[in-house]
Structure 1
Amino acid sequence: MAMWSLCRLLLWEALLAIAVTGAQVLSKVGDSVLLAAEQPRGFQVREAIWRSLWPSEELLATSFRGSLEMLYHSRFLGRAQLHSNLSLELGPLQAGDSGNFSVLIVDTGGQTLTQTLQLKVYDAVPRPTVQVFIAVARDAQPPNTCQVFLSCWAPNVSDITYSWRREGMMDFGVGTHSLFTDRQVLSLSLGLRDKDAAYSCIVSNPVSWDLATVTPWESCHREAAPGKTSYKDVLLVVVPISLFLLLVGIFSMWYGGPCSGKKKNDHTDEVAPETENPLV
């Protein structure tokens, strides 16, 4: 009887159904989502069928005269719940649960209504990492200024976008910043007035977001602190000395090797007769 009812419903869907294209439903991994079955006013439901259409076609749940059935061996077995209002709850969601779903409902007069919904499941956005790079100072650069590049990165998450903000301000100001590499890199020109300025990189997708905040002037201060030797100054001293010692070693090996060998041979010739034993 149940199989005959199911076949009859599917036939009605093909011949008499009123199709309603549903909206897109967004959620993230680990959450639950409710796929709502909208019922027109005066529509007295007798039977209902929830199906997954894509990426694979599967029966998920059915209702016949108020009796709910969710024992079908679909990929949502144990994660699907059909409510009395015929809305289907799925969860906890997994990364591969995105797809198209449909519900076919039939009223007591034989009229059918089909609704389709698209579920898209996203990963939760992780906290990004921000690195601060200091540009090399040039003669043309005004004093007490610092040119910095802030690089923001988050692991490979689908549909992720990047944006920046200066904490405590609505915008950065005109002509003080530039964006590169799909907004992942922010270039800033900082002055003394920006010593306490904090900048946040915001990563987001349609269902979640996170941010990381840095104070870039601190890196400028460490780079240009008075009384401290920068890595560039150290290289200017260490590299020439290392090259000089390397050349001295090469010349010593080149000219010292043959002379030491010759002396050894001469010494051997001189002592050879003294060590001979006469034959008896």
Structure 2
Amino acid sequence: MAMWSLWSLLLWEALLPAAVHGAQVHGQIGGSVLLAAECPPGFQVREAIWRSLWPSEELVATFFRGAPETLYHSRFLGRAQLHKNLSLALQPLESGDSGNFSVLLVDTGGRARTQILQLKVHDAVPRPVVQVFIAVSGDAQPPKTCQVLLSCWAPNISDITYSWRREGTTDFGIEPSSLFTDGQVLKVSLGPGDKSVAYSCTVSNPVSRDVATVTPWESCHHEAAPGKSSYKDMVLVVVPVALLLTLAGLLSVWHPCYSGKKQKDICTDRVAPETENPLVGLQR
């Protein structure tokens, strides 16, 4: 009788008008989420059916005459719980749980209502990485200033947004014209009075957020401490040395006999048999 009632409800739902689309629900991998069934005033539910519609249609939970059931062999087996108010709880969430869910509600008067909710499951946002890039000084640049590009990046995460804040101010204080690459890059101009000013990058998605803070003046090339190489000095030293090592490697490949004393001995040993063979032939 229960199975007959279930199939009757499914057939009834197919003949119903378009379903009511509910809000989008967000959850985090490893966490929990509640899919709420909304009932109009005076709607006394007698039967309910929860289904997952993607990637394949599956029964997740049902409610018939006061008896909830969640033991259907769907991918949510053991992770689904039907509450008394007919809302569906899922935990722990997995990355493949994202998709649409439908709930069919039938009241004691025979009225039916179908609601569809969209579940999106997200990764937790990791700590972002902030890099500081210093512009090369020029004549047009005011004295004792530092033009800085701040780049914020969070690896292997989708559906994220970037925002910047200048610490110590009541508002964000960031001009939209200073932001690039959808807010991922910030351009700032610093002076001697900004030595202790810090900038924070916030990376967020609908379920989590994290922040990284940097004091960019410490990386300015004209503030490099004695005995420490600036970015420009590093380029002037590393690039020529790398070129010399590359040329030396190529020379050793083309002329193995010139790559050292040991190699010269090996080449000499290789030449010796070739010079001895003609003499042996003559003696015979």
Instruction: For residue 10 of structure 2, give the secondary structure of its aligned residue in structure 1.
Output: helix
CA distance in 2 between counterparts of 1:45 and 1:173 reads 52
Corresponding residue for residue 206 of structure 1: 206
Instruction: For residue 150 of structure 1, give the secondary structure of its aligned residue in structure 2.
Output: strand
Corresponding residue for residue 7 of structure 2: 7
Instruction: For residue 149 of structure 1, give the secondary structure of its aligned residue in structure 2.
Output: strand
1:119 counterpart letter in structure 2: L
Corresponding residue for residue 68 of structure 1: 68
| Identity across the alignment (%) | 75
- Unpaired runs of 5+ residues, structure 2, are 252-257, 259-284
Q: Does 1:151 align with 2:160?
A: no
Q: CA deviation at 1:72?
A: 0.3
Q: 1:237 to 1:206 in 2, by over 3 A?
A: closer
Instruction: For residue 8 of structure 2, give the secondary structure of its aligned residue in structure 1.
Output: helix
Corresponding residue for residue 225 of structure 1: 225
Q: Please identify, of 218-227 and 143-152, the stretch whose mean Cα deviation from structure 2 is larger.
A: 218-227
Q: CA deviation at 1:172?
A: 3.6
Corresponding residue for residue 264 of structure 2: none
2:63 counterpart letter in structure 1: S
Kindly indicate whether the alpha-carbon contact (under 8 Å) linking 1:204 and 1:210 is maintained by their aligned counterparts in 2.
yes
Q: Please identify, of 223-232 and 62-71, the stretch whose mean Cα deviation from structure 2 is larger.
A: 223-232
Corresponding residue for residue 137 of structure 2: 137
Superposition pairs for residues 1-280 of structure 1, below 5 Å? 1-16=1-16, 19-169=19-169, 170-172=171-173, 178-220=178-220, 223-225=223-225, 230=230, 232=232
Kindly indicate whether the alpha-carbon contact (under 8 Å) linking 1:55 and 1:100 is maintained by their aligned counterparts in 2.
no
1:180 counterpart letter in structure 2: F
TM norm structure 2: 0.76
CA distance in 1 between counterparts of 2:174 and 2:21 reads 45
CA distance in 2 between counterparts of 1:196 and 1:61 reads 58
Q: CA deviation at 1:16?
A: 4.8
CA distance in 1 between counterparts of 2:227 and 2:194 reads 23
Q: 1:135 to 1:79 in 2, by over 3 A?
A: same
Q: CA deviation at 1:49?
A: 0.8
Q: CA deviation at 1:232?
A: 4.2
2:61 counterpart letter in structure 1: A
Q: How many residues align?
A: 244
Q: Please identify, of 87-96 and 213-222, the stretch whose mean Cα deviation from structure 2 is larger.
A: 213-222
- Unpaired runs of 5+ residues, structure 1, are 251-256, 258-280
CA distance in 1 between counterparts of 2:157 and 2:43 reads 43
1:19-72 CA distances to partner (integer Å, 9 max, x unpaired)? 322121122212211111122222222211111112210000111111111110
Q: Please identify, of 121-130 and 230-239, the stretch whose mean Cα deviation from structure 2 is larger.
A: 230-239
Q: CA deviation at 1:223?
A: 4.8
CA distance in 1 between counterparts of 2:84 and 2:109 reads 20
Q: CA deviation at 1:173?
A: 6.5
Q: 1:149 to 1:72 in 2, by over 3 A?
A: same
Q: 1:233 to 1:121 in 2, by over 3 A?
A: closer
TM norm structure 1: 0.77
Q: CA deviation at 1:228?
A: 5.4
CA distance in 1 between counterparts of 2:117 and 2:235 reads 63
1:72-107 CA distances to partner (integer Å, 9 max, x unpaired)? 011111100011111110111111111111111212
1:37 counterpart letter in structure 2: A
CA distance in 1 between counterparts of 2:208 and 2:222 reads 35
Corresponding residue for residue 277 of structure 1: none
Alignment root-mean-square deviation, CA: 2.9
Kindly indicate whether the alpha-carbon contact (under 8 Å) linking 1:200 and 1:212 is maintained by their aligned counterparts in 2.
yes
CA distance in 2 between counterparts of 1:230 and 1:86 reads 64
